[in-house]
Structure formats: structure tokens, C-alpha cells
Amino acid sequence: MIRIPRWLVGVLGILFASFHAGLGFSTLNEARDKDVALIALIIYLASIYATILLYRGVRLPISQAILNLAAAALVPILVNTYLEPAEMSSYSTWYVMGIASLMAATAIRQQRIIAWAGTVILFIQVIAWAGIEDGIQTGLLGALMLVFASHAISVGLARAYKETMEFNKQALEIELQQTANSVASEVRRSRLESALIGAMPMLETIRAQHGHLDEKQKFEAKLLEASLRDEIRGRALMNTQIRTAVRNARKRGVEVTVLDEGGLDDTPQLNKQAILRNVAEAIDGVAEGRVTLRAPEGESWRVTLVATRPGIATPDVWLKF
């Protein structure tokens, strides 16, 4: 996409606006009241220069737009006070295209309603002063076409700005998601490294004894295997309290399954710690059977804890946090 510098657009706008002012200055000798003619030119130039050069952003402040509307009403009155329709030349009605340029700039800077209001005021004043036939010859049709084209450009700019903001928002969301995924991966890697470091003594024992372990060692190996599985599948559910509670439950013969499906991803840290503290206390109260700890995604709750026993139809514990 070709990008046009704003300064270049401003320079072109100033040159176009100054052209109409130049036509006005060239007709000063024809004016019966040069002071009034100069005031009209100054009002026009001040309004259009401010509209083009001042203010950051695309949208023109409402205060400047209202000043432009006032200029659209005042400049024709000032010029028409010293100009007779029968005496007008090609350049003496410079203000028609001048005010049209001012309204076009106002429309482009997202004040379309005010721009059309000023254009209607200009149209009415010229027709009331010169009549329809002579009024059309002042360039009114060209003025209307200029404002209409600027209106279309304004709508296109507004749509492009909206689409650009939506694109930037999507790009930011993607970047944040990638960062979150990267952080989550780093956290999981760190947890697995810590778990593997803790598992090294048992792995060394297994290697040294060629897998011939006594019953106590076999039980410890099963606890180690289960804890490694918890670190992989449990993710945000795993903290020191949960690890301790789960290990103690398994020592009591309780079968424990831990599965994080993303339910805690958007939970504030303080709330998450409170939930996991309550979960750990609930696990400590289970003496036998099976415990399933899940963090489901897309539910109104964050974590579920279910404790069941074989042959018992209803759960001993069924908690939602």
C-alpha cells in the first residue's frame, strides 16, 4: 500500500486553498470597499489554514467546525455587500469555490454534517443574491461536486481507520496470545525440569539396580510417575499445596487424576491461590476411593473436585470453585 505523508497532503491542500484566496486578492481593485474584502479573505484563510494545518488526528474539533460554519455564512455576506451580480467577473465570486474548499476540508476531517450545512448556507446565499441562472454561473455546481467528493473520501477514510484499528486490535490480541503461550510453555518447561531434577535420585536407583526394586521403591516409583504426569496435565492446578495434598492422598491409597483444561487461565493470582488452597484442604479430607480434579474451560466455575468410592452411587465430595 502506498502511504502519502501527511505534510504533503497539507501542502497540496494549502496550495489549493491559497489559489482561491489569490483570485480574491486579484479582484481587490474591483471592490468598492477593500476593507470588507480583506476581512472576508482573512476569515477564509484563517479558517481553512487552521482546518488543514492544525489539530492532531483525523477528526476536526467541533469548535473549529463551528467556526468554519460561521465563515461559510459570513464570507458570502461580506463579499456580496460590495459586489453586484451584473458586475461580477470570473474571479470576483472566488468565495464560492473557496468556501466549498473549506467545507470539503471540514468533511474530510470527519465533520460531514457541518460541512453540508455550510454548503447549503452558501448555496442559499448565492441564489438569493444572484438568482438561479447567475448563481449557477458562479461555480455552485462545481462547489457541490467538490463537497460531495470530499464526503465520499471522508466516508472511505473513516472506514479505513476503523478497519485499521480492528486489524491492530487483532494483531495485538495475537501477539498477546503468542506471548501468553510462550510464557505458559516456559512455565511448563521449568516445572518439568524441576520435576525431573527431583526424580533423578529414583532414576539413578532404578538404573543402578537394573529395575529390580523392592516394594517400597516400586511404590515410590509409581508416585514419581504420577507426579510427572500431574506436572504435564495439571499445569495451573499444580502448586506446592496441591502437590503435597495429592502425594499424601496417593500414599493413603486414593487414586488421583489432575487435569487442567484452561479453566484457570484468566483467573487473578489471588483468586487462584484461594481456590487451590480450598482444593488442597478438600483432598486432605478424602480417605479412600478416587479423586478427579479438573479445571474445565468454558464453564461458569473454575475448578471441580469429585471424590467417589466403588459401589457408592453418589460422590462423597463434589465441589465447584
**Angle CA(111)–CA(142)–CA(83) in degrees, nearest 5?**
95
Per-residue pLDDT in tens (0 to 9) along the chain, 321 residues: 445 566 666 778 788 888 888 888 888 877 778 888 899 999 999 999 999 888 888 889 999 999 999 999 999 999 888 877 777 777 888 889 999 999 999 999 989 999 999 999 999 999 988 888 888 888 888 889 999 998 898 888 788 778 877 888 888 788 777 776 676 666 667 666 666 666 667 666 666 776 667 777 777 778 777 887 888 788 888 888 988 999 899 888 889 999 888 888 878 888 888 899 999 999 999 888 899 999 888 888 889 999 998 888 788 888 888
Nearest to 289 by CA among 249, 231, 259: 249
pTM to 2 decimal places: 0.54
Q: What's the maximum distance between 2 C-alpha atoms anywhere in the chain?
A: 119
Helix axes 141-208, 215-234, angle to 10 degrees: 180
Instruction: Report angle CA 177, 181, 187 to the nearest 5 degrees.
Output: 145
- Residue 194 burial (CB < 10 Å; 0-12/13-18/19+)? exposed
Nearest to 10 by CA among 42, 41, 56: 56
Quick one: which H or E segment has residue 258?
A: strand 255-260
